[in-house]
Amino acid sequence: MSDAALPRPKRAPLGRGLAALFGETGTRPLAEFGGARSVPVESVRPSPLQPRGHFGEAELEALAQSIRDKGIVQPLLVRPIEGAANGSGADFELIAGERRWRAAQRAGLHEVPVVVRHLADDEALEIALVENLQREDLSALEEAEAYSRLLRDFDRSQADVAKAVGKSRSHVANTLRLLSLPGPVQRQLEDGALSAGHARALLAAPDPAAVAGEVVRRGLNVRATEALVRRRAAEPTRQPTKSRDPDTVALEAELAAALGLRVTLSAKPRGGSLTLYYSSLDQLDRVLKLLRRG
């Protein structure tokens, strides 16, 4: 049988990665890449694949204090850096646990416990995404981006992702919709001016950016924002005023002067209409006499 005829291996179930990887620790000598081991904190570097872009100062300080008191309970997951020589610079790249790694440096630790695995880029990214989502410490937009990457880059369904991270499918779908908000609204969400609840309410607004500005300016809560969006959605759409043809305006003025009445002309693709406005029967009688003489 040729290689082309071999069936493609099925993808591993999404979300099993961390449990399987950490569950193997302790089954081999620590000197091997299979089990947990301690390495210098400076030999580990952050991963460019990390889906999380922001680490709060208060959050890191609280974790650093916990590490000072109790140490790091769960080891970091890393992979060897190709071509790196042990003992010279960074030898490992973080896959899961960057928050713990940063907090360990704040706590003054010289070494951190790690589990080392040989992982390809796509495996490393998928595990990093799921690990962050399971810990629920991403911002709403980071969460949406993580879902989007799992769907786009790993051919996962929304149901797969929801099951892996312990969320409902509707939660995943609604969070993904945040990526459709205008850029200014997304920035307000990232800066904390708007909450995820505000952002979800704004999805139904006819002009999310304008409504978001009003919400921030007035300091509205989520319930008030939902009511504001409903009111804006119920308002009739205002058609922009079209500039009128100067020749038409001039002709209306000429006719009005000749007849002594207000006159409007409306041009159409074929022909048009002439409307005369009178305020008394005397005005109407005068116009009729002019028309009869004509």
Which tens digit of pLDDT belongs to each residue from 239-288? 555 667 777 777 777 777 677 777 888 878 788 888 887 767 777 877 78
Instruction: Quickly count helices (H) and strands (E) in the chain.
Output: 13, 7
Buried/exposed 115-136: b ≥16 CB within 10 Å, e otherwise: bbbebeeebbbbbbbbbbbeee
Which tens digit of pLDDT belongs to each residue from 71-130? 888 899 998 887 655 444 568 988 888 888 999 999 999 999 999 888 887 777 777 777
Q: Dihedrals φ, ψ of 174, to 5°?
A: -70, -35
Per-residue CA distances from 289 to 176, 259, 293, 294 (Å): 71, 11, 6, 9
Domain 138-232: assigned CATH number = 1.10.10.2830
Q: Which comes out higher in pLDDT, residue 36 or 236?
A: 36
Distance, in Å, from the CA atom of 281 to the CA atom of 292, rounded to the nearest integer, reads: 16
Give the chain's end-to-end CA distance (angstroms, integer): 100
Of 145, 154, 210, residue with least CA distance to 178: 145
Fold of 17-125: 3.90.1530
Which residue out of 32, 93, 98, 143 is catalytically annotated?
98
- 98 has catalytic annotation: yes
Query: Tell me, what's the pLDDT at 241?
Result: 53
Query: Tell me, what's the pLDDT at 112?
Result: 92
Q: Are residues 131 and 98 in contact, defined by beta-carbon separation less than 8 angstroms? A: no
Which tens digit of pLDDT belongs to each residue from 88-99? 456 898 888 888
State the span(s) of the chain assigned CATH 3.90.1530.30. 17-125
State the span(s) of the chain assigned CATH 1.10.10.2830. 138-232
